[in-house]
Amino acid sequence: MTEVVNLTIDGQAVSVPKGTSILQAAASVGINIPTICYHPTLTPPAVCRLCTVEVEKQRVLQPACVVQAAEGMVVHTDSERVQTGRKVILELLAS
């Protein structure tokens, strides 16, 4: 039987199989996280960092495409910190 992890994304309870990325977990409940370098059939390179999210109890923003969902994790995809981080990332990518 597949082990399941339970987490919260933007206040919504989510249950996904162990090994699922935050990006995939969010998508499974209709939460869109922007990406540039991610493609579901390729190994995530995590180079663009546009999929950055805030994970409570983590000091730095995390790339949702490579960080696996964990039991009890609380994720924010659209906090002020995330919006500021994505803005900086887009400015760097466009320069």
What is the set of domains in the chain, with CATH numbers?
A: 4-94 (3.10.20.740)
- The confidence score (pLDDT) of residue 54 equals 98
Mean pLDDT of all residues in 79-85: 97
> 86: which 2 tokens?
């994505």
CA nearest neighbour of 33 among 13, 57, 12, 49: 49
Beta strands in the chain (DSSP E): 4-9, 12-17, 52-55, 62-63, 74-76
Q: How far apart are CA 37 and CA 7, in angstroms?
A: 25
Looking at per-residue pLDDT, the higher value among 1 and 72 belongs to 72
